[in-house]
A and B are shown apart, each in its own frame.
Chain A
Amino acid sequence: MKCQECQKRPATIHFTKIINGEKTEVHLCEQCAQEKGNVIMFNNTSGLSINNLLAGLFNFNPNIEHTQKNALHPNEIIQCDHCGMTLNQFIEIGRFGCANCYDAFQDQVTTILKRLHEGNWKHRGKIPQRSGGNIHLRKKIDILKETLQSLVAREEFEKAAEVRDEIRLYEQQLQEGGE
């Protein structure tokens, strides 16, 4: 196979780039890879530093199912299309490059957050007033639904009915707001 950049030298470096879930196969010769800067990232990743906290978190995962799902294929590069950070760079430095990295590395982020926050991966705190939009309403409904479940479990049906009506009211508001 010839290098896809220069079309002259044989391709010796093969990897898959994943940008926003879109896979691209890349075949380069060593010279072109170096010019494109890909090989540098690539070399960095070959040995994940054990000292690194995040790398440690990521590699040590008792949940086998998860490990397989999120395992890094040695020849794949997952990259954020906003800031250009790769997943491996993120794991190495332990810091996101921008807000979009959270989406770009979505599957791995969930695993990491769970390990850092006692199994939690979902925000339950403040929602910004202005940019929060109708998240406020939806969150309220979520919390009420949880309350409803626990009320039913405790067989407090009268209270449960009240909560159910409240949920309906909010859901109506949500629909009206959405139209």
Chain B
Amino acid sequence: MTPFTKYLKLSTIAAGGLTLCMHGAQVPQHIDIKQLSKTVEDVVVPLPNEIFGALNKLGTVNWKEHVRNDKGSNFTERPRIALLLGTVIADGFIAVQAEDAPTVKEIGQRVLALAKGIGVGNSITPHAKAIIEAADKRNWDSVRQELDRTQNSVQQAMNEVHDEKLSQLVSLGGWLRGTEVLTSVVSKHFSADGAELLHQPDLLSYFQTRLQAMPEFNLPILREIGDALVKVKPLIDVGNARIPPESVKKINDITTRLGSGIVTRD
């Protein structure tokens, strides 16, 4: 679409603001969720900074203590690179929270190297450059946007060559690292609202299903993650009950162990 047409469309939206049909009155107040089962799309996995943002609103977090400079091992197995890539992108979001420009820049380079290792480097080069430039300017919103774009471009490039499973491992790596940091923060300063952020049973089931569909990736770390998710599930799938401090601590122990396994060679 040409910029002019775009401008016209935007103007139309803006000008039509007063005539927008506000909804609510005619919308059903309740629907039968069970009837939706056949039409439900897959989840979009939340970015780590979606959780970090919610966590920030509960109180000041010392993000600097969660910044990780360990670059991780150099793997040759593509599933391991994919997991590590997801973890490193999550580390990028943590470094942004900590406003740690040198680490963000290192992560930009690391993401590019990992993407090359998995065969999707070309799609990442402009984003890695943008991450580094935005970190130099300490434009943290831009860095966050570019990290999201990086993950999206990596996954799109993987999906285009039918590597959807690797794409899912990128998401899983990011989710595990995000959960590790979330549980670390909440363990140190427990609050019921902080613990509630772990209430993600459907997301966990999504990852379990995806892992079970990857028997060809016969790697110990993936088996470990699969076993760990089985242990984590009852700790977060508590319905309307609260998640107690002991559960948060257990999940932190599990995800810290997995995090270490993801960055370290077997």
Decide if A and B are genuine partners: no
Chain A residues proximal to chain B, CB less than 8 Å: none
Chain B residues proximal to chain A, CB less than 8 Å: none
